Structures are given as C-alpha cells and as structure tokens.
Structure 1
Amino acid sequence: MQLSFHKMHANGDDFVIVDARNSANPVTSAVARCMGDRNRGVGFNQLAVLLDCDDADARVMFWNADGSALDVCGSATRGAADLLMRQANVSSVVLRTNRGLLTCERVSNGDICVAMGVPLFGWSDIPLVQELDSAVLPLAGSPAACSMGNPHCTYFVDDLATIDIATVGPAIETNALFPLKTNVHFVQIIDRTHIRLRIWERGAGIALGSGSCSCGAVVNGIRRGLLDSTVEVECDGGSVTVQWDGVGTVFLVGPVEASFSGTMSQG
C-alpha cells in the first residue's frame, strides 16, 4: 500500500500529516511506528491524521513516533490548520481533536494561532496516580503539573546548561506518579515575558520544540506567579508565543513550514 504524506515542521519540531478525508483511516499504531522510524521510515516527532468530521473542517488524530496515541499536539495542529487553510483559501478553520474543538487562525505575519483550550489541574485530569497538589509535586526539584489534553511536568531551573535532559527526562516521563507517563519541561526564566525551554517529549525524546509543552510550561509558570500573561517561549528550534489570562483558553502562536510531500510503502 502506498501512503501519501506531508512532512512539515514548526521551528524544527517535525511532524507528518496524512490526509485520510474521504477514505478509510490507513494509520494504526504499527503504521505510525513504521513511519516514525528516522532510519527506515519518514521520521517525525508526531503524526497527524486528517479525517472527515461533521462538526468541524476535519477531525485530527495524533500519534507519537513510538506508535502511542496522544490527544493533542500544538505543532501538528498548526500544520494541519495551515494545510487546510491553504487548500480552502481561508484564514481560519476549526479542528476536532480528542481535546475538543480547536479554532485556528492565520495572523497577520502568517503564523498560526491555535486556541488550545483550558488547562486542567486536577490530579485525576492530568492524571496523577493519587490526589496531590499539582502546583508543587513531591518530587526532587518541586515541579508543577498540568494537562493541556496531555500531561505536562515543569521544572524551573537557574541554568539549563546544568541539566542532563537525556538522563533526567526519561526518568521523570516514566515516574510512577504519572500513570500515562508525562512530557517533561525544563524552564529558565529570562524575565516575566520570556523563557528558555528545553523539552523531553513523551514518546518522542528530546524535541527542538513543542506547542503543547510550551503551553504547559507557561501555564505552570503563571500559576507559580513567575510569568506575565503573554510569554515568548524560546525553544532549541525557535520561538513561539503563549497567552493565558489565568482562567480561560490558552492561545499558542507560532510559525509552521512545509518540508516535503511523498509516498511511503506500507506492508
């Protein structure tokens, strides 16, 4: 079977989009894992599959490179929105995800703004394995946790250069406190409107950037009283902007670019 795809990235956070509208969904966990292999497949941090939808421009399903499913991906959502907007010659679309309906708009400089929904802080919503205060977890370094439709754990550090992401990241991702594992962020605060962020992404490893992780890191920083409501998030691959008023929807704004399109043999 030949599977057509579009490879895109958001500040180096790379993802693949498969447009399965008007057809049966060809992507399974095994297919996602095969496509995600950077040596034998296409390679990506996340895969987004576009499906027909009655109440939105498309339904989007997401996969990690290890074949695990996830409910939302900020970077791939921006990519899917960009693709659909260009095809329809419109400036906004609504996408149905497991996170709910996400409204996406193209702003004046060409970046994509996604309304990422309201963050969740309840221990069972993140989820955590037991009832705890998610603002200060009982782990070394006292991280904060939240959910943006996927779990996030945020550490605030004085110097990112002192953190061994490849060692600390997977240990926290698989900590027993997180029954569904977790994304892990390490944040160095430059000032109240600017952070430097490094990421260990659940199911993907070290990432140059991540939309949902950028949102989770800013949300947890605002909860701690460390950040203002609009924050530039500087990741290894580039910057995005996250806005949150402390109550409602989180807005993610950033660029997205097409890399190439192709087909891959399956089975």
Structure 2
Amino acid sequence: MPLTFHKMHANGDDFVVIDARNSVNPVTGELARRLGDRHRGIGFNQLAVVLDCEDADARLEFWNADGSALDVCGSATRGAADRLMRETSRTLIVLRTQRGLLTCERTPSGTISVEMGQPLFNWADIPLAQALDTLTLPLPGDPAACSMGNPHCTFFVEDLSAVDIVTLGPRLETHPLFPRKTNVHFVQIIDRQHIRLRIWERNGAIPLGSGSCSCGAAVNGMRRGLLDNTVEVECDGGPVTVHWDGTGPVILSGPVEASFTGTIADHQLEPK
C-alpha cells in the first residue's frame, strides 16, 4: 500500500514528515537511508515519523538521511507541529520525543516555536571521550560543547568567510574526543543579539540551516557571556530566533513551509 509523505523545509533546511498514526510504523533505518537518497529517493536532511502517543498529541521519531537515528530535530519538530496544528485548528500542541515532552506554539506572526528542552553541559551527556570543561575544549580554536539531545561543538571566529568548512568539518566531526561524532558550528558574532552561523552537520553535510545547531551555537555563546538571552541566528538559508533564560528550556522560533506531498512507491517499501 503506498505511503504518503510531506516534504517541508525551514529556511531551506529540508525534511520529510510521514504520518504513521493509527498504523504500524513502516520506517526502519534502511528505509530512511533509501528515502534520504537525493537521486533515487525523496532526499532530506532529516525524516520525522509521527506516531500515536498516550501522553501527548503525538510522538516523533527521527532519522538522518544516512539511516541513523537521532533524538531530536528542531526543524522537523516544528514542521510536524505545523501540520498537526493545521489539522486540529489549534495553536498549541505537545509532542513527545527522546528529549521528552516538547511544547510547540504558532506565534502571532505565523512562525512556529518549540521548547527544545534544557541544554546539557556535562561531558558525559554530550558525550565526550573524557572528563573535560565543556565551556573550553582543548582543541585549536577553543570551542565550547553542549548537547541539545545531539552533540554540538561551537567555534567562534572573526571572519566566517575565511573558514574552510569542507576541510575542517569532517576532521572535527570525527575527532576522537567525540565518540558519537558531533555537529560542528562556526559562528561569527555580529552583535550581542545577532550571529552568523555555518554548520558541518554530523554524518557529513553543510545544510542551509539546522534548528538544533542554531540552539547549540546560541547557547554556547550565551554561556560565554558573548550574547544576550534572545538571539537571531542567521544561517545560509535564513534566520531563526533562539531564546534561553540560562536555566530553563531553549525556545526555537522560525518559519516552516510545505514544499509538496507525494506517495512512496511500493517497491521502495520492500526490504532490500
């Protein structure tokens, strides 16, 4: 039986939403990898599967394009929330993820905000390979690290255009200090309320944007006293807003848009 999908993006950070409520979850790591292939599948940065849930409006399961699972994706969470809000004519819903219960809201301007949970700073939570101060890692450039349910390593640079992300990104992603690899951020501070961000995403890509990376980069800048509590994060694909009061959950806000809806061919659903 054909499976319906919804292709969406958040400032070019593209993802796919599959609604598997009231049915058996069809998505495995192998299927996610095949669907993520931009030549033979649909193509996406992340895939979100919407599932039934007893203590929230729905539960989300996330996959990377290489078939690996991840705990959270800020862009896809907001995309799934947008679809569910339109379906129910509501402006606030709660979604369960591996990060816990995340409250999502449609703002008066029409953007979608999500409480992304509290950032984690203990070396074991990121995780790192050894006990270290995560505010200043012993790597050239003195980056900071945190977890938003996935690992983040943030470098603050004077000139973002001078950074060779294609060369540096893979080396840092797979550095022995990060046993589960890491997302790598390069941040140029415009002022205390505005940063420019470019990303090398874990598992190998330079996306136009990333919700969780925007959160991780802003939080690390706030921890160092470089940024105010509310920051506009300008990614290659456009801006999002990150707010963190220093103790509670990180709030990510920005636009999401539908690109198209389609069906996955039966032969794609067959195990290979």
Which of the five TM-score ranges fits, normalised by the shorter chain?
over 0.9
Give the letter for the 1:26 counterpart: P
User: How many Å apart are 1:2 and its aligned residue?
Assistant: 2.4
Note the alpha carbon deviations across 1:100-122, whole angstroms, 9 max, x for none.
Answer: 00000000010001011110000
Structure 2 residue ranges without an equivalent (≥5): none
Give the letter for the 2:121 counterpart: F
Note the alpha carbon deviations across 1:215-257, whole angstroms, 9 max, x for none.
Answer: 0000000011100000000000000000011111110000000
User: How many Å apart are 1:204 and its aligned residue?
Assistant: 4.7
In structure 2, the partner of 1:220 is 220
| Residues 170 and 204, structure 2, Cα contact 8 Å, conserved in 1 | no
Structure 1 residue ranges without an equivalent (≥5): none
| Residues 66 and 204, structure 1, Cα contact 8 Å, conserved in 2 | no
Give the SS at the match of 1:139. coil
> Normalising by structure 1, what TM-score?
0.99
| Residues 15 and 46, structure 1, Cα contact 8 Å, conserved in 2 | yes
Note the alpha carbon deviations across 1:115-158, whole angstroms, 9 max, x for none.
Answer: 11110000000110110000000111110000011100000000
In structure 2, the partner of 1:243 is 243
Q: Within 1, Cα distance between the matches of 2:170 and 2:69?
A: 18
Tell me, yes or no, if structure 1 residue 194 matches structure 2 residue 170.
Answer: no
In structure 2, the partner of 1:233 is 233
Q: Within 1, Cα distance between the matches of 2:64 and 2:3?
A: 17
| Percent identity between the two aligned chains | 73
In structure 2, the partner of 1:34 is 34
In structure 2, the partner of 1:127 is 127
Displaced runs of 4 or more, over 4 A: none
In structure 1, the partner of 2:10 is 10
Give the SS at the match of 1:154. strand
| Residues 198 and 236, structure 2, Cα contact 8 Å, conserved in 1 | yes
Q: Within 1, Cα distance between the matches of 2:68 and 2:20?
A: 19
Give the SS at the match of 2:121. coil
In structure 1, the partner of 2:137 is 137
Tell me, yes or no, if structure 1 residue 93 matches structure 2 residue 114.
Answer: no
User: How many Å apart are 1:202 and its aligned residue?
Assistant: 1.0
Tell me, yes or no, if structure 1 residue 153 matches structure 2 residue 156.
Answer: no
Give the SS at the match of 2:124. coil
| Residues 65 and 204, structure 1, Cα contact 8 Å, conserved in 2 | no
User: How many Å apart are 1:4 and its aligned residue?
Assistant: 1.4
In structure 2, the partner of 1:71 is 71
Tell me, yes or no, if structure 1 residue 210 matches structure 2 residue 210.
Answer: yes
Give the letter for the 2:115 counterpart: A
Q: Within 2, Cα distance between the matches of 1:174 and 1:37?
A: 22
Deviation larger for 26-35 or 166-175: 166-175
Note the alpha carbon deviations across 1:188-207, whole angstroms, 9 max, x for none.
Answer: 00000000000111125101
Give the SS at the match of 1:124. helix
Give the SS at the match of 1:105. strand
Give the SS at the match of 1:198. strand
Give the letter for the 1:83 counterpart: R
Give the letter for the 2:156 counterpart: F
In structure 1, the partner of 2:81 is 81
| Residues 4 and 262, structure 1, Cα contact 8 Å, conserved in 2 | yes
Q: Within 2, Cα distance between the matches of 1:164 and 1:100?
A: 36
User: How many Å apart are 1:169 and its aligned residue?
Assistant: 0.9
| Residues 120 and 147, structure 1, Cα contact 8 Å, conserved in 2 | yes
